[in-house]
Structure 1
Amino acid sequence: METREMRYFVAVAEELHFGRAAERLGIAQPPLSRAIQRLERRLGAALLERSGRRVSLTAAGAVLLEEGRAALAAVEAAERRTLRTARAAAGRPALVLATKAGATGDLLAALLDTYGADPDAVPVDVVLCGIGEQARLLRDGTADVALLHRPFDGTAGFDTEDLRTEGQVAVVPAGHPIADRPSVTTADLEALPDLPLPRWPLPDGSYPPGPGPEVREPTQLLQFIRLGRAAAILPESVRCQLVDALDAVPVVDAPRVTTVIAWPAHSRSPAVAGLVRAATRLSEPQPSV
């Protein structure tokens, strides 16, 4: 199948309307209909059920929609990476690093300093993302490398190196009674009537139901906590960002968080390899003085 045919089919499958799909693609409806019919004949399978003005997917069409989206995303990612490689070959190399806004700030600063001291280092553009966006940018070719956090971020399809593993703390407004405890459990926090836990976005962009505020990144969340509107469970390293208005208490039953540096498994970029080497040097035990 040609990528043009795949784009045509995905547009119709997502819109479930030939007219809207044609408008989205910037073509007339008749050639779009003929292209889908040719594709069905070549595959020997019906992809769409047509009933009057209504269009729905067959089982085969649902499979092709899922696979087609992945294939088109891979093509677009290849285009982006190829263009960056071409710029590098023309003497304009650069790396794009994606990381969650407000997270791993100390580690990121140390990584950029360590890599910058390498004589072969290239400029690094840092993209600060919302929750869960780093992996998407890495998959679609927008980013060359990313800092991810297990168990919250998926790393399937990436090569990774562990950088650090840490416990988690409850971040609460300073002066709140729970801040005086030596430690808490997740059940303790879930039972607080005045400090609901935040609601992070689901993969589809919606939010789960609940009383907590809707948040997309840690700096936004810290503001809600300072206002006394929420509490949160965050990695231990967040302590370096806390101001006097916030306290942190260890959460004894929260899963430990591992920060990893991730890159596409098929990457052959010398610049990516250099950045990964710099990151792994940071994770090595330092000699005692």
Structure 2
Amino acid sequence: MKRIEVRELEYFLAVAGTLHFARAAEQLGIEPPPLSRAIAQLERRLGVSLFERTSRRVELTAAGRVFKAEARTTLRSLDRAVRRVRQVGRGALRIATPPGTGSGLLREMVRGYVALFGRDTIELVFATDQTVAVRDGRADIALVCSTEDLTGLDVQNVTTEHPVALVPADHPFATRETLTPACLLRDPAYATELPPLGLDALVDLVATGQLIAVVGDSAVDRLGRHVAAVPVTGLSPTDVLLAWPADSHDPRIASLLELAGQLAIQDPQRVQTTTTRRPRV
């Protein structure tokens, strides 16, 4: 079968979105007859009917509904590829990171990169889902936890964080040397799942007595005098990773990974590196 063209996908999605050939043609800036012929040709090449047509209505068939989802995914992938190709080796290296990242590691990497390549060579993209930002092309690389979905990404372990409970400074827990998950569960303010907020917002909720939360110990350097951090036993440490597209050839990413490795050598207790694969340049 001859390869389907992008234009055909756009024509199909216009009709699938409006379920009206005349309105779809108007959106596309063409006449209805060529659009109808293009859809009919697409159906012949696929060997299935994508639409059920009557004199009164147009509806998607079961095959049409499947093709609609796949066509959307294909066009999104193409758009992402275009963004990535245009960005490779050009402009600022975009790092996706959660709002209010507590780790000094990010500060050290950014400052080190700027020292090597100059100002305006690196950009922070604040996102609550950093891997999505990398996959859709909004960011080139992301600072993520090892617990996230890393499918299709290469990673380098850059540090390990240990769990601490953030509690109000005047809370009885604040005087404890350590806490356990069982102990935390006895307080109704404790949230086993963090709300989708940046660190600064979480700290505000804790300070006002509305929340007790467990985060990585890198958050300690962002706390004010109204919030205490108490180590939590019984929970595993969390690896913090740099993650980037597995098929990347971006020399800027390779430079950042090399810098992260140098930081590890300077402070091996804080920064650990294990690379699965570096970008090919």
Counterpart of 2:169 (choices 152, 171, 174) is: 174
* Residue 29 of structure 1: how far off its partner (Å): 9.4
> Which residue of structure 1 aligns with residue 158 of structure 2?
163
Pick closer, same or farther for the CA change 1:50–1:118 going to 2, 3 Å. same
> Which residue of structure 2 aligns with residue 241 of structure 1?
222
Pick closer, same or farther for the CA change 1:12–1:147 going to 2, 3 Å. farther
Residue 22 in 1 paired to residue 24 in 2?
yes
Q: Secondary structure at the match of 1:118?
A: helix
* Residue 37 of structure 1: how far off its partner (Å): 4.2
Residue type of the alignment partner of 2:46: L
> Which residue of structure 1 aligns with residue 207 of structure 2?
226
Pick closer, same or farther for the CA change 1:81–1:223 going to 2, 3 Å. same
Distance 1:185 1:57 in 2: 55
Residue type of the alignment partner of 2:72: R
- CA-to-aligned-CA distance 1:171-211 (integer Å, 9 cap, x gap): 11111122233323334333322x142865xxxxxxxxxxx
Aligned residues: 264
> Which residue of structure 1 aligns with residue 240 of structure 2?
259
1:58-137 to 2 correspondences below 5 Å? 58=62, 60-85=63-88, 88=90, 93-118=91-116, 123-129=121-127, 131-132=128-129, 134-137=130-133
Residue 197 in 1 paired to residue 191 in 2?
yes
> Which residue of structure 1 aligns with residue 274 of structure 2?
none
* Residue 21 of structure 1: how far off its partner (Å): 8.2
Q: Secondary structure at the match of 2:224?
A: coil
Task: Say which one has the larger Rg.
Answer: 2
Preserved CA contact (<8 Å) 1:48 1:61 = yes
Q: Could you tell me the TM-score, scaled by structure 1's length?
A: 0.76
CA RMSD, aligned part only? 3.3
Q: Could you tell me the TM-score, scaled by structure 2's length?
A: 0.78
* Residue 259 of structure 1: how far off its partner (Å): 1.0
Preserved CA contact (<8 Å) 1:16 1:55 = no
Residue type of the alignment partner of 2:159: R
Residue type of the alignment partner of 2:140: D
Gaps of 5+ in 1: 201-213
* Residue 19 of structure 1: how far off its partner (Å): 7.8
Counterpart of 1:150 (choices 137, 146, 151) is: 146
Distance 2:27 2:177 in 1: 60
Pick closer, same or farther for the CA change 1:75–1:218 going to 2, 3 Å. same
> Which residue of structure 2 aligns with residue 275 of structure 1?
256
Pick closer, same or farther for the CA change 1:176–1:46 going to 2, 3 Å. farther
Over the matched positions of the two proteins, sequence identity in percent amounts to 34
Gaps of 5+ in 2: 270-281
Distance 2:181 2:31 in 1: 55
Distance 1:97 1:217 in 2: 16
Preserved CA contact (<8 Å) 2:168 2:206 = yes
> Which residue of structure 2 aligns with residue 45 of structure 1?
48
Preserved CA contact (<8 Å) 2:113 2:122 = no
Q: Secondary structure at the match of 1:117?
A: helix
Q: Secondary structure at the match of 1:261?
A: strand
Distance 2:159 2:133 in 1: 22
- CA-to-aligned-CA distance 1:230-262 (integer Å, 9 cap, x gap): 111111111111111001122223342111111
Distance 1:177 1:50 in 2: 70
Residue type of the alignment partner of 1:74: S
